Structure 1
Amino acid sequence: MRRLYQAVQAAEGLEHDLLFPSESTKRRLIKTPGFVPFNNSLNQEQIRSVEMILGCEGAPPYVIYGPPGTGKTMTLVEAMLQIYATRKNDRILVCAASNSAADHVLEKLISNDDAKVKENQIFRLNASSRSYEDVHPDHIRFCYFDESIFKCPPLRALVQYRIIISTYMSSSLLYAEGVSSGHFSHIFLDESGQASEPESMVPIANFCSRETVIVLAGDPQQLGPVIYSKDAKAFGLGKSYLERLFECEPYRNGDEGFVIKLVRNYRCHAAILDLPSKLFYKGELLACKEDTSSSISSIVDFLPNKEFPVLFFGIQGFDERERNNPSWFNRIEASKVVEVINKLRASGDLDEADIGVITPYRQQVLKIKKVLENWELSDVKVGSVEQFQGQEREVIIVSTVRSTIKHNDFDRTYRLGFLSNPKRFNVAITRARSLLIIVGNPHIVSQDPCWEKLLWFCADNNSYKGCPLPERQSSACEEPIPKRNSISELENSCHSRVREWFQSLDEEVPQITQIVSDAAEGSGCRK
């Protein structure tokens, strides 16, 4: 916390136009010759991004706006390698929001055979609290430690490195060792949308001068920083520095001297990308994933439309909690999730590690994990949206959990679950490369504009299975969502058919249902 206070105080000494440029701010550029990419797969927007970074001469920040799967980190790495190879006196600081993300950047930098970054010129800074065993054995040689405890080397060693990689917070160790403002010619902030504004200020305020080139990469439409304090949220700390930059005219207007938007998505099937592109990115995203003749959707038997790899399973279950535990779970949905996983595995050519399950409640995560362990399917990752941000799987299964309308207001108030949280929705449905499966109550999710669009997107493409759909009250998915049926009407509709649906599910997959029931039996569950 002291590091954050120190960084915020240091930021007060920076010129306002350096942090938040106005419309009159002029981007200072230098003429640069064309460059030969180390990565031959870069697209037009990525190449232009690198050119602009090489052409920048100091503040204000340059932003790479990268929607899901568009290669933000790849673009940053190319820029770093170009600077390393052509500007021998430049020094680079790279910060990421997590240790795993920072390790990923390190791996990309050292694995490029053409650039050949020297081992004694790149350093991975770790906090002393990080476990030695947590670091990949191949990366240990780039770290500094004593008796398996990570440390920050002395200043005389730090200034010799040309590239230093750390998390946002750990970069404060450099300041404590005496690294001065202006030492780094370039500061790269990866996953900047996930860092709080004070966290972003740790590297910027401590090491930035007027001549320092600052580059942020991220997506303001995805999840922002995780803030637990209500007071902190009230004062705006839930909004990242990246998101605040887009309130400034040069970034909001898409001025090329300040920001470039990557639009080519190499992760998702076109059908998976279609809806988030329209909802969050003005329909600009281009699906560039290479099609394969043996796509997963073509070999999965239970897909009603094998040309459309987005499936909605309608489930009318029950919200449940254990005693005073605030987290929710839905055993019927958990049963369906495990059934789907077993069917996917039976289809062949799909490993456990290719499947991910996203659900917003910790108790649902634990219930599904326990059943998967009983089925010896522990390599299937199950987690929250936050745990999946920045990751991808061939198949993603989303369990929405909610089956009672009266609890929706609680979720909206405390920003829980999926409903009324567009960023969480966006991240959840853009993790899948080849197949996206939603397991949820259509009567409940249709209360949210984004989820309603997804529901009818599936129904219109003959890709809905399960309980009866709610009455459709909007003629097109782009139209505003009118008022729904009353709570009592919908809940009666949901609960009147729950037993019938559970009976059919029990007959279809008795073993799975029994295991899920056994897992929760005796835990004090209440409906």
Structure 2
Amino acid sequence: MEKWTNFILKDVTLELRQLTINKNIGDNDFCGEKVRVTFVEFKMESIPERRPFLLSRDFVFAKPLDKSDTQFQGFVYRVKKSSIVLAKFGDEFHSQHHSSSRYNISFSFNRVCLKRAHQAVEAATDPSFHNFLFPECPVRRDSFALPSFYFSNGVHLEQRSAIRQILALKGLSRAGVVVREAVWQVYQRSKDSRILVAAPINKTCDALMRSLKDKIPDSEIFRVNAAFRKIDVVPDDILPSCLYKEESECFACPQLEELQQFKVIFSTFVSSFRLHNEGINAGHFSHIFLIDASSTSEPEAMIVLANLANEDTTVVVTGAQGKRSGWVRSPIAQRNGLQISFFERLKEFTPYKNLDPAFIARLDPKLESDETNSY
């Protein structure tokens, strides 16, 4: 969060833009009747790399150059073309603003994502969740005999082995081809299966969903999006499997009864909270795939598990040994272990650390360096 502390746009001219949007009825959500709203527009020549980055509903502060003791707070409405920011300020700002006014601009984060992580950490303290966090000996369910089946083209021998392990309700594996094939096999073989595929970023979720859309009917697959994800970055072939409300210009989830009917749902770790918020209970999903769990913080991964998994859920975690989240940059957080992912920490427990083939599958076995292997 401190990344923005020293990031200040100095001596900025702010332009006003009139847009027609839906009426703000509270909590910064635009819904209801159409109204004309005045936005402030400015360009950021250089935006900090990677996360954290500006998102809709992050906070903007404008400090007039001629009034050192005055500062106005607004919020980001939209970021266009990755560099042009539209922000919404209140009447107090507009009453003193002139076309010649110049400002220093700074930013702060909307804490909604952190609040979801805090909620997940609190939920994970329930004693019944202990075995997910600190597995003394993972419960091994009886494996069942798998019938012969045909894999899709391009699935290699090691990947087939990992897929068979997933189908036998065992351990960890790799993302990509393995996950796609495993989800497809689970979907095919059990009419009662309910699958959640979660990943840290939208790009991964979109890619996995697109790889399965030609196999799973639209009526049985759904993509959860953050409410104010920009619609123009969502792939066109995925949009039919999303719920976008034109009147409120935001993504939503259907009512609980309809949501429960989907057999396969895709979401980022953070946005999975929306399923919990809509009333999906822990245990609803028969299988939860945490994809690339080595590249995100453990509290973020817990947003999925703490709210949606129980002792009856088959949880498959994928990641790369030695890979750590680049999002945790605070020295204080790093010293206290937050850079260590759920995947990396889990792998230190028996039987994962012993590479027990009943619980963990290693891809790329010919590679000598363990640091490059995926599980």
Shift of 1:247: 1.1
TM-score (norm 1): 0.47
1:154 shift after superposition: 1.8
Contact conserved, 1:96 with 1:167, CA < 8 A, in 2?
yes
Superposed structure 1 runs of 4+ greater than 3 Å apart: 277-282
Find the partner of 2:202 among 94, 99, 103: 99
Question: C-alpha displacement at 1:30, in angstroms?
Answer: 2.6
Q: Which has the higher strand share?
A: 2
| Structure 1 position 230, deviation (Å) | 2.5
**CA separation in 1, counterparts of 2:204 and 2:236?**
16
Aligned to 1:201: 302
For 1:215, the equivalent position in structure 2 comes to: 316
| 1:160-179 superposed Cα distances (whole Å, 9 cap, x missing partner) | 10011010000000011110
Matched, 1:128 2:227: yes
C-alpha contact (below 8 Å) 1:37/1:78 kept by paired residues = no
Higher RCO (C-alpha 8 Å, min separation 6): 2
SS at match of 2:352: helix
TM-score (norm 2): 0.65
Distance 1:45 1:279, change over 3 A: closer
Q: Unpaired segments of 5 or more residues in structure 2?
A: 1-113
What is the CA deviation profile of residues 242-274 of structure 1, one whole-angstrom value per residue up to 9, with x for unaligned ones? 000111121110011211100168xxxxxxxxx
**Rounded Cα–Cα distance in structure 2 between residues aligned with 1:279 and 1:217:** 18
Unaligned runs of 5+ in 1: 67-71, 266-276, 286-527
1:119 corresponds to which residue? 218
Counterparts of 1:3-42 in structure 2, within 5 Å, are 3-13=116-126, 14-22=128-136, 24-42=137-155
- Name the SS for the 1:256 alignment partner: coil
Q: Which amino acid aligns with 1:86?
A: R
Q: Aligned pair in 2 of structure 1 residues 81, 253: CA closer, same or farther (>3 Å)?
A: same
Match of 2:238 among 125, 133, 139: 139
- Aligned-CA RMSD value: 2.0
- Residue number among 185, 190, 197 corresponding to 1:82 in the alignment: 185
Determine whether 1:240 maps to 2:341: yes
How far apart, CA to CA, are the structure 1 residues paired with 2:232 and 2:182? Answer: 31
Instruction: Report the AA paired with residue 150 of structure 2.
Output: P
Larger helix share, 1 or 2: 1
- Match status 1:62 vs 2:171: yes
Aligned to 1:63, the other structure's residue is in SS state coil
| Residue of 37, 51, 55 corresponding to 2:164 | 51
Q: CA deviation at 1:52?
A: 1.5
Distance 1:129 1:181, change over 3 A: same
What letter matches 2:351 in structure 1?
P
Partners of 1:196 and 1:225 within 8 A in 2: no
State the shift of 1:137 in Å.
1.2
Identical aligned residues as a percent = 34
Which letter does structure 1 place at the counterpart of 2:360?
Answer: V
Find the aligned partners of 1:223 and 1:247 in 2 and give their Cα distance.
15
Amino acid at match of 2:188: A
Helix, strand or coil for the counterpart of 1:62? coil
Give 1:414-425 correspondences, 5 Å limit.
none
Q: How many residues align?
A: 258
> d(CA) in 2 for partners of 1:188 and 1:176?
20
